[in-house]
Amino acid sequence: MSTSPVIEVVDLRKSFGHLEVIKGVDFCVAHQELVFIIGPSGSGKSTMLRCCNLLEQPTQGSVLFKGQDITKPQVDVDQVRQHIGMVFQSFNLYPHMTALQNVSLALRKVKKMPREAAADKALAALEQVGLAEKAASHPNQLSGGQQQRVAIARAVAMDPDVMLFDEPTSALDPELVGSVLNVMRKLREDGMTMIVVSHEMRFAEDAADRVLFVDDGVIVEQGGPAEIFRNAQHDRTRAFLHRVSGH
C-alpha cells in the first residue's frame, strides 16, 4: 500500500445555516485502503463523505485529491469527479434505459467513448458485479440488490481512483444486502481505494483497513477494526457499538 494519500481532508467544516454539521475533521485515505465511517444517524457521516467529491461544498477547510486542493475555485470539479466514483443509497438508474445503457451513458457523454467501445466497457463492468446476463434488463426488472450492483458497475466503468459509498445497502431488503457487500469485497480485493459510510458493522470488521467513529460532527476515535470493535477507548464509541451490534 502506497503511503501518499489519495484523499486528504484538512480541518473540514460544514454548516447549513447556523447548524454546524462537521466541526473541523482531519483524515486521509491511502492508495488501496478501505476506510469505513461509522456513527449514529445525524452525526455528519454522509455530509463528510459528500464533501470528498464536493457534492457538498465545505464551509471551511480543504479536500486534497492526489495532492491537489479541489476546493479551490479554479478547479474543474467535473473533471475531478471522473476520478472519484460515488454509489448512493438510492440507485439513481434511468428507468427507461437497460442496465447496459445506464452503465455506458457516462462513458459516452463524459469520456466521449464511441458507442461500441462504451458498450464493451459497460458489459465488462456488469460482468465484474456478476450481472452480465442482465445487460438488457430495465431497472424495474431487477431486484434492489441488482439495481445497486448496476449502480456500482456504472461507477467502476469510469475507472475511478477512489470509490465513495454512501449507505449503499440501507435501502435494500436484508436478504439482498449480501450480494452488494460481496461486490464491494471483491473491489477491495482488486485494490480499489474506498471510503464507505454504512451501518454494516460485520462488513466493517471483516473488510476495513481503518474505521472512523464519527459523532456530532467530529471524529471521536479511529483505528483498525480490531481496535475499534474490540478495544474502543471512548465511552461514546463503546455505547454506539453496544447499541448497534451488541459488542
Q: In this prediction, what percent of the chain has a pLDDT beyond 70?
A: 98
Residue 174: how many other CB atoms lie within 10 Å:
7
Summarize pLDDT for 18-67 with one digit per residue, the tens: 999 999 999 999 999 999 999 999 999 999 999 999 999 999 999 999 99
First to last CA, the chain: 30
Summarize pLDDT for 193-232 with one digit per residue, the tens: 999 999 999 999 999 999 999 999 999 999 999 999 999 9
pLDDT at 241: 92
pLDDT at 163: 97
pLDDT at 3: 61
This model's pTM is above 0.85: yes
Summarize pLDDT for 97-109 with one digit per residue, the tens: 999 999 999 999 9
What is the pairing mode between strands 84-87 and 162-166? parallel
* Mean pLDDT computed over 133-146: 96
Q: How many residues does the chain have?
A: 247
Residue closest to 9 by CA, chosen among 33, 30, 22, 25 = 25
pLDDT at 36: 96
Confidence of residue 1 (pLDDT cuts 50, 70, 90): very low
| Distance from C-alpha of 152 to C-alpha of 66, rounded to nearest angstrom | 22
Residue with cell 436484508: 174
pLDDT at 246: 57
Residue closest to 87 by CA, chosen among 208, 172, 25 = 172
